[in-house]
Amino acid sequence: MKVKVIGAGLAGCEAAYQLAKRGYEVELFEQKGIYRHDAFKTDDFAELICSNSLRSDDIYNAVGLLKQEMRELDSLIMKAADKYRIPAGKSLAVDRNEFSKYISDVIKNHPNIKVINEVVKDIDINTPTIIASGPLCENELADSISKLCGKDFLHFYDAVAPIVEKDSIDFNYAYYKSRYDEDNEGDYINCPLTKQEYDEFYDAVIKAQQISIRDIDDEKYFEGCMPFEQMAKRGYKTLLFGPMKPVGLEYNGVKPYAVIQLRKDNAIDTLYNIVGFQTHLTFKAQEEVLKLVPALRNVSIVRYGVMHRNTYINSPNVLNKYYQFIKYPNIFVVGQISGVEGYVESSTSGLYGAINMAQYLKGNIEYELPSSTMIGAMANYISDSNIKQLVPMNANFGIIKSDYAGNKSEKKKYYVESSLAIIKEYGKHV
């Protein structure tokens, strides 16, 4: 039986892989090669646009647990991430180019997957289809999906942080350290500022020229991706409690007033991205502002920060807990367009949505994951009919539903052990 998957991003590749390994013939439609949005830089699949970090890999962190659940269910995205991980403290960061190339090779060489380079314009409700068109979905396809929803799309605007050359960083003013490390070594490059330097930097940021966003009446930002200049305009200390907080980054006994952190972006250690500095300042303004930081006075920016549209549907009105259209059961929606937020969460929805599609095609969805697992909790959150206005949300323990009534300090341990036990049993059946 054939299944159509639209989009070869993280969710689409994960969905295609999960269906193909279960014996389904997958037609994976991807428009790269014909048309590529400005936010993308290559024609590889599963390209990471914003950060190269998949966030915490600590199993007692919500997204860390989510990643482990994915590993238990043979996730392609997690295979690639683990294979091409690079040092980033307790986070799972990857060499973004090698990561995408690996996924592209697996998908393109799988005997059950046929990649079709085509711009999809319409959704056929009679054909089993997984929509994984991503948050940049636009034009005719967006209109087609909107008609299926019966409601207007929601939107906000995502921002991407600049990437710089390591060789252009002045290490007379920078040092390696991960937050709270006792020694002066770590996986992050830190660029400290004195109060006077921060004052000058802050003043320049709030006055810097932004790229004009056309055709928008109201800009909406997901809090986790808010441009740093927008944060700065909330108040003088906002950045000091956000991406520039100096806590845990003392160097040789001295605590800086503010710190800009840079995280390795490739395995050969030549490129670094500026942590938390997603932006839509003009390219000239980005350069002028960053060069006010002593360690970055001669910085070479290889990729400037940019803004891009992030589109998602109000899922509680149209999707069930399987990522399946209530009104059109042949159609499943996964990835950020479904209302999840984040690389890992997007990939997870592709994995779980594909498993549910496979069950649906066999006659019924017999096995499902409860909200006591992170995968199940996310699926239930985006389909919760009590939510009138969906706000995209990262994985968090707050959406876990459990009958645990023990000691608060042991709660996360219980969540993890209980969830993974359920996932392992679930994996035997699907």
Structure tokens at 92: 């799972």
Q: Residue 295 in contact with residue 174, Cβ under 8 Å?
A: yes
d(CA 56, CA 52): 12
Domain coordinates in residue numbering, the chain: 2-157+310-427, 163-305
DSSP string, 205-238: HHHSPBPP-TT-SS----GGG--HHHHHTT-TTT
Structure tokens at 113: 């997957």
Q: Residue 128 in contact with residue 109, Cβ under 8 Å?
A: no
Phi-psi region at 244: left, alpha or beta (left = phi > 0; alpha = psi -120 to 50): alpha
Q: What is the pLDDT of residue 257?
A: 98
Q: What is the pLDDT of residue 217?
A: 37
Q: What is the pLDDT of residue 131?
A: 97
Q: Residue 177 in contact with residue 188, Cβ under 8 Å?
A: yes
DSSP letter for 30, please.
Answer: E
Domains 2-157+310-427 and 163-305 share a fold: no
Query: For 83, what's the count of Cα atoms within 13 Å in the CB-facing half-sphere?
Result: 14
Q: Residue 334 in contact with residue 11, Cβ under 8 Å?
A: yes
Q: Angle, nearest 10°, between helix axes 195-207 and 283-290?
A: 170
d(CA 166, CA 149): 46
Q: Residue 13 in contact with residue 45, Cβ under 8 Å?
A: yes
pLDDT in tens, the chain (430 residues): 999 999 999 999 999 999 999 999 999 999 887 777 666 778 899 999 878 999 999 999 999 999 999 999 999 999 999 999 999 988 999 999 999 999 999 999 999 999 999 999 999 999 999 999 977 777 788 889 988 988 666 666 667 789 999 999 999 999 999 987 755 677 899 999 999 999 999 999 999 998 765 443 345 566 567 889 999 999 999 999 999 999 999 998 899 999 999 999 888 888 899 999 999 899 999 999 999 999 999 999 988 887 766 788 889 989 999 999 999 999 999 999 998 989 999 999 999 999 999 999 999 999 999 999 999 999 999 999 887 777 777 898 889 988 888 887 788 999 999 999 999 999 999 9
CATH architecture label of 2-157+310-427: 3-Layer(bba) Sandwich (3.50)
Q: What is the pLDDT of residue 303?
A: 86
Q: What is the pLDDT of residue 220?
A: 59
CATH topology of domain 163-305: Elongation Factor Tu (Ef-tu); domain 3 (2.40.30)
d(CA 344, CA 77): 8
User: To which H or E segment does residue 82 belong?
Assistant: helix 76-83
* Long-range contact pairs involving 417-421 (C-beta distance under 8 Å, separation at least 24): 418/372, 419/65, 419/69, 419/372, 419/373, 419/374, 420/65, 420/68, 420/69, 420/72
**Identity of residue 172:** N
- E-strand spans in 37-150? 53-56, 85-86, 91-94, 113-117, 129-131
Q: Residue 229 in contact with residue 127, Cβ under 8 Å?
A: no
| DSSP-derived pairing of the beta strands 307-312 and 154-159 | antiparallel
Which residues, 6+ apart, have CB-to-CB distance to 206 below 8 Å? 229, 232, 233
Q: Residue 10 in contact with residue 107, Cβ under 8 Å?
A: no
Which residues, 6+ apart, have CB-to-CB distance to 278 below 8 Å? 50, 158, 159, 160, 161, 225, 226, 227, 228, 305
Q: What is the pLDDT of residue 28?
A: 98
* Long-range contact pairs involving 234-237 (C-beta distance under 8 Å, separation at least 24): 236/202
